[in-house]
Structure 1
Amino acid sequence: MDSVAKEFGRLQKNGKFDRIIEDVDEMIKRLERVRNTIENVPRSRREELAILKSETKEWANKVNESQKEIHGSLSKYAKSLDKKFKVDIEGAYNQNAFPASSKRLLDRAIAMHLIREGEFEVADQLIKEANLDIPNELELEFMNMYRILHALERKDLGPAVEWAALKRDRLALTSSELEFDLHRLQFVHYFTYPDGSGTRLALDYARNNFSVFGERYLPEISKLMCAFVFQADVESSPYALTFLSPSAWTDVARAFTKEFCSLLGLSSESPLYLSAVAGSIALPTLLKVGSIMREKQTEWSSANELPVETLLPPSFQFHAIFVCPVSKEQTTDANPPMMMPCGHIVGKESLDRMSKGNANMKFKCPYCPNESMPHQAVRVYF
């Protein structure tokens, strides 16, 4: 990789794109000046054109010299890349794995990826040309998400707090901590004003907003309140980690995106992006398999699974197996995992047995003293 880095550095040094652009801009200005002079003083046409001809020739020579330098550097960089990465990735391609009849699915995946990335104009054009059935309401939802994320970039928590308050009941079903995290970050933001002027703002904010979280987050709220004792030097206090996390804004933006997509029934990451990354990780293995198959004159016979096992990071494992702790049986689509209000999870069949099939019957959680009814349980997707 050292040779690639060396040629890239040389391209950056010799690629004088800015100088060429400046020369072109200067020539355009000169042409405009000549045109204006000729229009206002017709008798100067011959003289001005003669000067312009000479300047144009000189300018063209300068641009050609600069282009030679850029072309040479680009050529060497391309050769360095070809030498280092001389791989034909078509060897990992199986044309039967994605038949032509599935093109519409690919178009939809691309359009959804564009919407999720905030490229709404491009997505609209693709949806129109491919005649896709993606509802406009979904695009409006993601427009709202990006509006809130842009506000978070400006350290404006107002839109996110407002959204979390509107979705409080639905967030509570998944035991989400997002709303409290947003309020806590706003408190910390006030408390850590450089000039100390935000202390009163932080106290007033806590009085107005923390009461609704008292039952669930009392220990965390207590820590925030005790920090007032150390406000002169919070960095060396026991609450420094609570207040001075450098990634707090990034973390809350990531948590907001995850919860927002979850309420839409979508994953927090674009499936197309994850597929591309997973494919990149698996590519060396697939290329090796393709090479072996060509040597042995065999074919990749299955379109639904890979011919070899590909190791992916834990973050790419989306289909974890859950075994009901009561029945000791693996959950399925017919017997999905269900989370009770207390946060414990059992299989649906176990839930029905504990409630004796009565949707309005209270039953005790097998792991804690809390009681609930079957209709309060929500399905969990791993």
Structure 2
Amino acid sequence: MELSSIKDAFDRVAKKQKLSCSKTQEVIDQIFQEIEKALEKIQSARDSDSQLDYKNSLSDLRTILKDIAPLSQLEGTQKELNIALSKYAKILEKSFNPDISKAYRNSDFDAHIVNQVIASHFYRQGLFDIGDCFISEAREPESAGALKSPFLEMYQIVEAMKSRNLGPALKWAANNSDKLKQNGSDLVLRLHSMQFLEILEKGGRGEALKYARSHLTPFAFNNMAELQKLMACLLWAGRLDSSPYSALLSPTNWEKLAEELTRQFCNLLGYSYESPLGVTIAAGVQGLPPLLKFMNVMAGKKHEWQTMKQLPVPVELDRDFQFHSIFVCPVSKEQSTEDNPPMLMSCGHVLCKQSITKMSKNSTKSFKCPYCPTDIEATQCRQLYF
């Protein structure tokens, strides 16, 4: 809600600024036109050596500019802009509390691990100079090589792909083909297909056919439809951009191929595709406002905040930040935890452990499922793992 109100206020400021700019330009153009007309009259007066016409032209210009009253015209729109800006600043000040320490938890951080996470973020973004500088200033030089080397290789491959050079990518894929196959990735096929199209686009039909026989044939059994499309491209050698298969040459395909290579490269290194630091900060930006609002309510109970195992209020995050399934017991309405995990009953319904324990009188008697007439034995319930 807060972000929405901030955006609305920003949009109002942007609209008022646009109107003010447009009005200012309109007044300037009007003044410019009148000055141009006056200059033409003055020039005519000079040509005719008429001092009276010269003075009359200046007098007329002064009268016209007074009638235009530029300051009066601009006053209204400028005032509206200033009001909108003033309100926007107040909304920002109200929404973005500078003291975010209220939402902190007393947690012990391993400085070495935090430094590695930050350095790894720089390296995976291709900011190698900044990463080296950070490692040096953090006094962790022994970490530089291990963190930097894999991403340096990845970016060398990606940069080569931007220049339509698939050689390094094909070499890396060949060296890791078994691992890629285990992951169910079709990256090797996609790289060879793109290389085939590059050769064909340059008009080398024979060379392209030779390449297909050497590198695409092993994929024929499971990818016949795609390979048939590639073989049909042979008929359009040298003019593939005007063929029914021109979409295969789209720059978007190169971008997607580079993205897939980056994803698989990080996967084989045991890293996530997205930067953990970037995801953490982005999720924190979304979660911080409700946490601050909650802490304002809990201002007199800081001790409880530090010892809580879970928040008493929901903190909504976008689906991009939802990595694990969450179960809320339909009976107690509480979210499952390690101490209170979801339990699968013999009827197929799921409740949290504490609810089952309570309904079964500490597992001493059977009970009826709240959602069907099945009699449930607590000892037969099994814990679910998401």
TM-score category, normalised to shorter length:
0.5 to 0.7
8 A Cα contact 1:4 1:80, kept in partner: no
Aligned to 1:85: 92
- The whole-number CA distance in structure 1 between the counterparts of 2:107 and 2:266 is 27
Counterpart among 118, 124, 144 of residue 126 in structure 2: 118
Structure with more contact order per residue of length (Cα contacts < 8 Å, sep ≥ 6): 1
- The whole-number CA distance in structure 1 between the counterparts of 2:308 and 2:139 is 27
- 1:293-332 Cα offsets, whole Å, 9 max, x none, are 23888852347654533333333233359xxxxxxxxxx9
- The secondary structure found in structure 1 opposite 2:143 is coil
- 1:275-301 Cα offsets, whole Å, 9 max, x none, are 111112223322332333238888523
8 A Cα contact 2:158 2:258, kept in partner: yes
- The secondary structure found in structure 1 opposite 2:316 is coil
Counterpart among 292, 295, 298 of residue 297 in structure 2: 292
Aligned to 2:216: 210
Counterpart among 219, 222, 225 of residue 225 in structure 2: 219
Counterpart among 168, 189, 194 of residue 177 in structure 2: 168
Offset of residue 176 of structure 1: 1.4
- The secondary structure found in structure 1 opposite 2:305 is coil
RMSD: 3.8
Aligned to 1:258: 263
8 A Cα contact 1:261 1:267, kept in partner: yes
Structure ID, larger Rg: 2
- The whole-number CA distance in structure 2 between the counterparts of 1:124 and 1:234 is 44
- The whole-number CA distance in structure 2 between the counterparts of 1:83 and 1:299 is 32
- 1:24-74 Cα offsets, whole Å, 9 max, x none, are xxxxxxxxxxxxxxxxxxxxxxxxxxxxxxxxxxxxxxxxxxxxxxxxxxx
- 1:214-258 Cα offsets, whole Å, 9 max, x none, are 333233212211343566677673x565x2545211111110011
- The whole-number CA distance in structure 2 between the counterparts of 1:131 and 1:78 is 45
Offset of residue 164 of structure 1: 0.4
**Letter in structure 1 aligned against 2:89:** D
8 A Cα contact 1:92 1:286, kept in partner: no
**Letter in structure 2 aligned against 1:180:** L
- The whole-number CA distance in structure 1 between the counterparts of 2:266 and 2:88 is 39
8 A Cα contact 1:8 1:77, kept in partner: no
| Cα distance change, pair 286–8 in 1 and its aligned pair in 2 (3 A) | farther
- The whole-number CA distance in structure 2 between the counterparts of 1:149 and 1:90 is 42
**Letter in structure 1 aligned against 2:193:** R
| Cα distance change, pair 159–306 in 1 and its aligned pair in 2 (3 A) | farther
- The whole-number CA distance in structure 2 between the counterparts of 1:198 and 1:90 is 65
8 A Cα contact 1:4 1:81, kept in partner: yes
8 A Cα contact 2:103 2:288, kept in partner: no
**Letter in structure 2 aligned against 1:85:** L
Aligned to 1:301: 306
Q: How does 1:85-234 map to 2 (within 5 A)?
A: 85-86=92-93, 87-91=96-100, 93-99=102-108, 101-132=109-140, 134=143, 136-192=145-201, 197-229=203-235
8 A Cα contact 1:92 1:290, kept in partner: no
8 A Cα contact 2:191 2:257, kept in partner: yes
| Cα distance change, pair 111–183 in 1 and its aligned pair in 2 (3 A) | same
Offset of residue 109 of structure 1: 1.6
**Letter in structure 1 aligned against 2:296:** S
- 1:192-223 Cα offsets, whole Å, 9 max, x none, are 45xxx354443333223212323332332122
Offset of residue 151 of structure 1: 0.9
- The whole-number CA distance in structure 2 between the counterparts of 1:157 and 1:320 is 39
- The whole-number CA distance in structure 1 between the counterparts of 2:18 and 2:101 is 32
8 A Cα contact 2:13 2:84, kept in partner: yes
Q: How does 1:6-17 map to 2 (within 5 A)?
A: none
- The whole-number CA distance in structure 2 between the counterparts of 1:254 and 1:117 is 13
- The whole-number CA distance in structure 1 between the counterparts of 2:125 and 2:292 is 30
- The whole-number CA distance in structure 1 between the counterparts of 2:145 and 2:17 is 44
- The secondary structure found in structure 2 opposite 1:175 is coil
| Cα distance change, pair 141–296 in 1 and its aligned pair in 2 (3 A) | closer
Aligned length, in residue pairs: 256
| Cα distance change, pair 189–281 in 1 and its aligned pair in 2 (3 A) | farther
**Letter in structure 2 aligned against 1:253:** A
Offset of residue 80 of structure 1: 7.1
8 A Cα contact 1:192 1:198, kept in partner: yes
**Letter in structure 1 aligned against 2:153:** N
- The whole-number CA distance in structure 2 between the counterparts of 1:8 and 1:127 is 44
- Segments of structure 1 that go 5 or more residues without pairing to the other structure are 14-74, 322-331, 333-381
Q: How high is the TM-score relative to the length of structure 1?
A: 0.56
| Cα distance change, pair 297–164 in 1 and its aligned pair in 2 (3 A) | closer
